[in-house]
Structure 1
Amino acid sequence: MTCIKEKRNFSTLMRDTNSPFLPASDKNEVPVEVGFILQQHFSMTAFTAAVDTLVTANLVRTTPLFHYQTYAAETSPVVSDLGIEIAAQGTLSAFENKPLPDLLIICGGYRCSTQHHPELTRILKQADSQNLLIGGLWNGAIALAHAGLLNQQSCALHPDNHAYMREQFPHVSVSEQVIVSEGNRLTSAGPVSAMEMMLQLISQLRGAQVTRAIREILSCDQISEDSNIRISQPGDDPCLPQNLRDILELMAANIEEPISVDELTTCIGISRRQIERLFQNHLDTSPGRYYLELRITHARRLLLQSNESITNIAIASGFVSTSHFSNCYKDYFGLSPSLAREQHRN
């Protein structure tokens, strides 16, 4: 198996896994500013799900894609639904002397007040006049409704608040969906949907590739329909043909001593041409290139997470020599294994 110089870019499946460690893009993106407005008794799980998605977005790129700050709707610290106090970085009065962020998210919760908050309404109307993105978590949509920002629109919020919303705001359409995105409005009904709402937003703002990389990190422990809980693997994708899934599992189980395509044909019972067609049609790559990228990824993890020598890492990753491994690593990551380790530690 050879390392081809011109193939510096990972194929789709492995690019998402390795994206935080790839050379920085020449494109200098300005981070999106996000402000979370915390109401008393806000849902901690919904808030952290949303924030974790943004933080992970920054981790899968070498330059930050998002900045976020927290603001207390009343006074700081703000007490969450778990009784944990959060020291917000500011209050609503902070917006008197600074521009509004690109995205404002109202963080609600099961015990959050549904009463009108004049100062919050003023800020939301100001954000609306500037055509900024505005979101609501749990029952955060109620604050948007008080500001008149959901008239003739749909919204998602916790089922416990559906009756109140329909009674108090007849011009707002309460959706049975857990996420609603209409124009510059984004609303979700709970913690799980908060993460999904942010993923959809990130996809719109930063592209599907970033979102796939985030999902790979945050969705490793998704529970299947039969409640079988295990770490997800590339071969777990039910959309892939079973033969291809079997091949991916075989490759993953044979990193240190890679098996040849001829050996794969014997194990799986299909021809070399069929194997090549499976990889090209479903993964847009060749079996050899995928296997090399799988081993390079394995080596990158050992390199940055252990104190093993580069020679031992090369052997453990199925490379015939340290020089071969170093050349391949530099082709994909833009720097030698020793320099990559040094930069990571610093």
Structure 2
Amino acid sequence: MPFADLSRLSSHVPLRIQLIAVGEPGSITLSGLLHPLRLAEKLLGATRMILTITSPQTACPSDGLTLLVADDEVHPPANLRDLITLCRQSDCWGAVGSAVLWLARASVLDGVRTALPWALYPETDDAAERAILTPQLFECDGRVLTCCGGTASIDFALTLIEQIFGVALAAQIREALCIDRVRGASERQRVALQARFGASQPKLTEAVTLMEANLEEPLGTDGIASLVGLSRRQLDRLFKQHLGSVPSRYYLDLRLQRARQLLLESNHSIVQVGLLCGFSSGSHFSTAYGGLFGMTPREQRQRRT
């Protein structure tokens, strides 16, 4: 289940969450985190949760969750190395927005599944690419959390609240903020592949485009490889190197993400949703959906009400 590792943070009483803000205080990235988390703090009380917002100069060690937060076009603080050391003392730690790139360049995300803002893909270098850059909105890999920022910060904050404090509190905050749907960790930044690879990996981009265009009647991996002019082994290597996945798994996740969108936003029956996303068997659809999202399609549909 996405973000399942965060359940251990619920044992912190109170849970201390520190946001180290770099740049403008009114940025979308920071505001998207602040509004849900401040409301959670108010509803829970100081005995359950304490939220602090600090500058790079006033940050201090925290035993709970520490996130370095920055919008685009902000330069890293001079004491970045010290801040990274401070962050890593927390039970869970990470970065949101352009701060994700700073951590990747500092080589502290090597081998870690990382949600980097799509607009920053052209700025990655060899050091940053040792991280496993994914096109997702946010990622949780062990103790490390990353989020692409922008409006995804709202989804990220609400997911944190739900995983740590429960569905009921998250639903209460969603209602208060008039938020109808929370995008999941596995949902993709829409233009991440094009922004990241551009003309450098046309075969990979073409393969993913074929997958996205054929969700209802999925193509076989051998067929996709043939259509883009690669061998099966070459296609597997491309996906593993650049997307941290094999083609069949990546394709399945695309179909399931589309199914989640239809369950939440359409009036199609669950059977129809399965068929529209290439699942001829209801049991296979339910099992695959539960493996990615931690709930059955029926439970997902019930959550929209």
**TM-score normalised according to structure 2 size:** 0.51
The equivalent residue for 2:295 is 335
User: Closer, same or farther in 2 for the Cα pair 1:23/1:323, shift >3 Å?
Assistant: farther
1:33 aligns with 2:17: yes
Instruction: Give the secondary structure class of the aligned counterpart of 2:8.
Output: coil
Quick one: which of 229, 237, 256 aligns to 1:296?
Answer: 256
Instruction: Give the secondary structure class of the aligned counterpart of 2:211.
Output: helix
1:272 aligns with 2:232: yes
Quick one: which of 196, 203, 223 aligns to 2:98?
Answer: 196
CA contact (8 A) 2:207 2:225 kept: no
Structure 1, unaligned runs of 5 or more: 1-20, 59-66, 70-88, 90-96, 108-123, 139-157, 159-176, 186-193, 221-229
Instruction: Give the secondary structure class of the aligned counterpart of 2:278.
Output: coil
Structure with higher Rg: it is: 1
Cα distance between partner residues in 2 of 1:211 and 1:265 = 27
Once the two structures are aligned, what percentage of the paired residues are identical? 26
- The one-letter code matched in structure 2 to 1:334 is G
- Counterparts of 1:173-322 in structure 2 under 5 Å? 177=75, 179-180=77-78, 181=80, 183-184=82-83, 195-197=97-99, 209=113, 212=116, 213-214=137-138, 215-216=147-148, 218=150, 231-238=190-197, 241-322=201-282
Structure 2, unaligned runs of 5 or more: 85-95, 117-136, 139-146, 153-188
Give, in angstroms, the shift of residue 320 of structure 1: 1.7
Quick one: which of 36, 45, 57 aligns to 2:26?
Answer: 45
CA contact (8 A) 1:131 1:184 kept: no
Instruction: Give the secondary structure class of the aligned counterpart of 1:45.
Output: coil
Cα distance between partner residues in 2 of 1:182 and 1:320 = 52
Cα distance between partner residues in 2 of 1:274 and 1:256 = 25
CA contact (8 A) 1:327 1:336 kept: yes
What is the root-mean-square deviation of aligned Cα atoms in Å? 5.0
Instruction: Give the secondary structure class of the aligned counterpart of 1:256.
Output: coil
User: Closer, same or farther in 2 for the Cα pair 1:299/1:210, shift >3 Å?
Assistant: same
CA contact (8 A) 1:105 1:136 kept: no
Instruction: Give the secondary structure class of the aligned counterpart of 2:216.
Output: coil
Per-residue Cα deviation, 1:232-269 (whole angstroms, up to 9, x for no partner): 14454217622111101111111112122233233212
- The one-letter code matched in structure 2 to 1:303 is L
User: Closer, same or farther in 2 for the Cα pair 1:51/1:198, shift >3 Å?
Assistant: farther
- The one-letter code matched in structure 1 to 2:98 is E
The equivalent residue for 1:326 is 286
User: Closer, same or farther in 2 for the Cα pair 1:179/1:308, shift >3 Å?
Assistant: farther
Give, in angstroms, the shift of residue 310 of structure 1: 0.6
Give, in angstroms, the shift of residue 327 of structure 1: 2.2
- The one-letter code matched in structure 2 to 1:333 is F
User: Closer, same or farther in 2 for the Cα pair 1:198/1:328, shift >3 Å?
Assistant: closer
The equivalent residue for 2:121 is none
Give, in angstroms, the shift of residue 216 of structure 1: 4.5
User: Closer, same or farther in 2 for the Cα pair 1:259/1:244, shift >3 Å?
Assistant: same
